[in-house]
Amino acid sequence: MPYVTVQMLEGRTDEQRKALIDKVTDAVVETTGASREKVVVFVEDIDKRNYGVGGKRLID
């Protein structure tokens, strides 16, 4: 049973998240031969207050 975790900054719509899960699932099925029903996709939103680049938070 393949497990995939996608971490991304918060702010995507529900429709975008559904499409992402669908397409990631398709990619895993295509590349591994796993059955679609066995693919698990986790989407983790990263709060922009907790994400920094170059020593600065993205919201600052």
Residues annotated as part of the active site:
2
Based on DSSP, count helices (H) and strands (E) in the chain, helices before strands: 1, 4
Contacts of 2 (CB under 8 A, 6+ apart): 28, 32, 34, 38, 39, 40
